[in-house]
Every structure is written in structure tokens, then in C-alpha cells.
Amino acid sequence: MVRIALGVLAIAVFIRSAILIVTRFPVALDLIIPLKAAERWLAGDVVYLPDGFADPTLLAPFLYPPFTLPLLAPLTLAPEIVVRLGWVGLLLALALLTCRRLAIPWVVIPGVLLWTPILEGLWVGNVAVALFAAFVAAFWRTPVRHTLEPEPRDLDGAAPPDSRIGWLAASMAAVKLSQAQAWLAIAGRSMRAALLGAVPWILLVLTTLPLVGLGSYGAWLAQLARASDPGWEPMGASLLHFFGTTAFAVVLLASLVIAVWLRGRDTGVWIGIVTLLATPNLHAFSVLFLLPALLRIRREFALLAALLTGTLTYEGWWLGIAIVVVVMLAGERWPILREPVSDAPAVVG
């Protein structure tokens, strides 16, 4: 009865937030930003404009690395609405595949897609949905039909991670430098897989370098520095915003160290948590990386945390995240706080 009550209340919160999202933001808003940047690049104009940092009425600043510009350029030739809807459709397909890989039953998936972090990511067309799909594919296997719980990859078994897993993990760091935790977790087990996985991205950078120029990478790094200013309000509710640059640097470094040393079946769950905690720009869709942990802890706590993270409030986001982290840590001592699984939990070591 407690689970039913929390579930009904959570869905009500999700619906309220969904109404706010779809009425406040244009569909695929976050795709418009890189498309406009690609148009400026094609026209020979400045790509990494700082204007969006000072004027909140303008489009948010373009923060993706320069190698994305030649990939985005062909999309500027098609009607914008077609590109936007097509991108949202692709992200929806990835979200469905991700839910199934996490063994979420079809009957529950509509409610999961309504969860504010997923719905906002889909509606605004943020790349976080695709990066989360890559993350889940790297750390979890596709479950067998009768399985009702996610099946983590045995990364510490006799067979080390392969280059495909390394590529999936490297994809996150290639697009967002601050999300290197997954790649480091693979490198801590198989440096060969991690390096081979990074090769396609390195080749992409080298191949596109004559097109975008070396100077574009300096402009990109300068743009990331501007985006890391704790005083920039649109960065959201990240720890960088609250703690400041120095303390956040310690958090980021700690997340990287933890990623290397994590071991056990809950490695992916903890990687998702530390990736979220070390995110410099935290928005609702950033909380996507909390989903594996929600599936790991007892449903009562998971539903409460999902409800809170679905409120579109900073207080709700961090209270929900805190509940998950505390329950996961306490579950090391009291397994009753977690949903039952067959193997032992992850340990740092």
C-alpha cells in the first residue's frame, strides 16, 4: 500500500512537471543551440559566443567540442522542425532501449518516461539521454526475458572489458569532459579496452581538425571556463554552484579516483552517482544517472527519491539524491534497504 500511494503521488508530481516543461520550452530546444553554432561555423563567424552567459534571454552558450560542428553541418540543410522531431524520436528510441536493458517491464516504462529527468531530456532534445544510453550499455547486459532486475556486466570476471565497452564509456568523456568517470572505470580494469575505445574519437578529432582549426579548441576550452563560473545562474544546482571552484575541483578529483577503484556488481550504480555529483552544470535531465541506483534500493525509498527529483526544484533534486546516496551506503550494512539480488554489493578497493 505504501508503494502504491507513493507511486500515485509520484505520477501526479511528474504530470505537473511535464505540463510546466512542455509549456515553458520549445521541443528540441537543446538541439537548436548546436544547430545555430554549426550555421555560424559554416558562415565563418564566431562559434563559441559568450553572449549567452550575460544575457539570459539569448540562447544558452554552445559548449560541445569543435569536432561536432562538421557532423552537425549537414543537418542545417534540412527543415529545422524535421531535424528537431527526428532527433527527439531517436532519443525516445534510445530511452526505450535503455529501460529494457535495465529490465524495466513494459507496463512500467510509460511511468518511467514520465519521470521528469527523462521527460525533460526527451522534450528539450538534450544529448544527456544518448550519453546515459551509452553508459547503461557499457555497464549492463541485455537481460534475459524472465529477468526482473538489471544484469550488471561482470567487469571483474575472467573476461576483461572489450573495446566496444571502452568505446561506449569513452563516448561520454568525448562529448562532456567532466563525465570521464565511466571511461576511467574501464581503464582501471583493462587499459587496452579503454584506449582502443578512445581511438575512434581521437581519429574523429584528427580528421575534423583541418576543418575546424586548432584555434577552435582553445575557444572551446575558454567557453568551458566561462561555463564553470559559479556565479553563472543557468548552470543549475550543481555542487560547483554551491561550493565554489576549489571545493568542486576536490569533488571532481575524488569522483575520478573512486571511479578507478570501484569493484563489484554495483560498480555501474556508483559510477552513475559519482558522475552526477561531479556534474558542473546540473539540470533535471542530469539526474538520469541516478536511475540505476533507484532500481537498486528498496522501492519505497526509490519512489520517494523519484518523486522529489521530479519536482523541478533544487531542493527536491538534492533531497532525492541524498536519500539515494544514504540508502545505498547504509545498504552495505543493512541489505534490507536494497532490492534483493543474487550477488554481493560493490566495494571500493
How many C-beta neighbours within 10 Å does residue 260 have? 14
The number of CA neighbours under 13 Å toward the Cβ of 135 is 35
User: Which of 219, 181, 329, 191 minimizes the C-alpha distance to 266?
Assistant: 329
Nearest residue to 245 (alpha-carbon basis) of 215, 272, 280: 280
Under the banding of pLDDT at 50, 70 and 90, the label for residue 54 is confident
Q: Are 212 and 66 in contact (CB under 8 A)?
A: yes
pTM of the model: 0.91
Rounded CA Rg of the chain: 20
Q: What is the pLDDT of residues 291-302, one digit of tens each?
A: 999 999 999 999
Report angle CA 62, 250, 168 to the nearest 5 degrees: 55
Closest CA to 179 of 189, 164, 168: 168
Q: Are 306 and 115 in contact (CB under 8 A)?
A: yes
User: Computed from CA positions of residues 259, 172, 314, 319, in that sequence, does the dihedral angle turn out positive or negative?
Assistant: negative
| Helix or strand (DSSP H, E) at 4 | helix 2-24
By CB atoms closer than 10 A (0-12, 13-18, 19+), residue 294 is buried
In which band, very low, low, confident or very high, does the pLDDT at 348 lie, cut at 50, 70 and 90? very low
Has residue 232 got a pLDDT over 80?
Answer: no
- Over the stretch 103-126, which tens digit does the pLDDT of each residue have? 999 999 999 999 999 999 999 999
Number of compact structural domains in the chain: 1
Mean of the per-residue pLDDT values of the chain:
90
pLDDT category at 74 given cuts 50, 70, 90 is: very high
Give the tens place of pLDDT for each residue, 306-317: 999 999 999 999
- Position 344 scores a pLDDT of 44
**Span 218-229, mean pLDDT?**
90
Closest CA to 150 of 136, 164, 166: 136
Q: Which pLDDT score is estimated for 288?
A: 95
Output the pLDDT for position 204: 96
∠ at Cα 100 (94, 103), nearest 5°?
150
Instruction: Name the residue range of residue 243's domain.
Output: 2-348
240 versus 343: the higher-pLDDT residue is 240
pLDDT of residue 281: 87
How far apart (Å, rounded) are the C-alpha atoms in residues 243 and 224?
A: 18
